[in-house]
Amino acid sequence: MDNPLLKLDGIIAGYGSMTILNGTSFEVRRGVITTVIGPNGAGKSTVFKAIFGLLKLRAGSIHFDGQSITGWSPRRLIEAGIVYVPQGRNIFPEMSVRHNLEFGAVAAANIADLPQRIEAALDRFPALREKADVQASTLSGGQQKQLEIMRGLLLDPKLILIDEPSIGLSPLLVQETFAILKELRAKGVTILMIEQNARMALEMSDDGLVLELGQTRLHGPAHDILNDPRIAQLFLGGAMGAAA
């Protein structure tokens, strides 16, 4: 792959005595959406934590935008242009939606125009604009997930790692969220995504990545993975399980 934005080479990592990633290697092209699929325990969420500096590598290296980021702290990775939207809820429930956005964007390189960027972000999520000044704890689970995504966008990322963006969302909010991800791709943002609805995610993605037992089993165009009968039988026949 010519000049990838992200490159993992031989990553070994885990928790305590348990090894989850067993030599994971792959590259992510610039300006595309790549969806990661695989069975429970494959290491999908673990690989995101390793990329974002939340899990110390036992071996291997990670390069981003042409430089090694192995061992970098999450704060330094944010400054370099990587944003991580994890699975689950990660908001400040007693703060208003607007204050969540302001607080979450303090790591942005330029905060001089933050109020204007917050207004632009709220325009992208109409369901949240009318609740901008209410406590985040009053939002539905789906709206809280959208708030997390909004907060990440205010950091002007080059790469977004997003884990299960559709969890807890109504069908309408899923469509809105996926439309925003495609809009970001059109603006040059690279997206690496884990999604429980593997078929839907692959249909909107450029590339697909299959993890199994902490190793990359298949990596290529998303439509090829969708049309691979082995993958369809193993991973696309029913609902995907939660990320590992």
pLDDT reported for residue 1: 67
Answer with the residue of higher pLDDT: 104 or 153: 153
pLDDT reported for residue 57: 97
DSSP conformation class of 7: E
Answer with the residue of higher pLDDT: 123 or 59: 59
Residue 242 has pLDDT above 60, yes or no: no
CB count in 10 Å sphere of residue 2: 6
CATH of 6-88+156-236, one of 1.10.357.20, 1.20.1740.10, 1.10.1040.10, 3.40.50.300: 3.40.50.300
Residue 221 has pLDDT above 90, yes or no: yes
- Distance, in Å, from the CA atom of 90 to the CA atom of 179, rounded to the nearest integer, reads 22
Mean pLDDT of 137-153: 86
Under 8 Å between Cβ of 202 and 226: yes
Give residue 126's pLDDT band: very low, low, confident or very high (50, 70, 90). confident
Mean pLDDT of 225-233: 83
Residue 26, beta-bridge partner list: 8
pLDDT reported for residue 140: 84
pTM over 0.75: yes
Give residue 102's pLDDT band: very low, low, confident or very high (50, 70, 90). confident
pLDDT reported for residue 160: 96
Tens-place pLDDT, residues 73-90:
999 999 999 999 988 778
Indicate the average pLDDT of the chain: 88
Mean pLDDT of 146-160: 88
pLDDT reported for residue 243: 40
- Distance, in Å, from the CA atom of 51 to the CA atom of 30, rounded to the nearest integer, reads 16
Under 8 Å between Cβ of 207 and 217: no
Residue 70 has pLDDT above 70, yes or no: yes
Please state the domain extents for the chain: 6-88+156-236
Strand order in the sheet with 18-28: 18-28, 6-15, 59-64, 67-68
* CA distance readout (Å), 184 to 44, 150, 199: 22, 12, 20
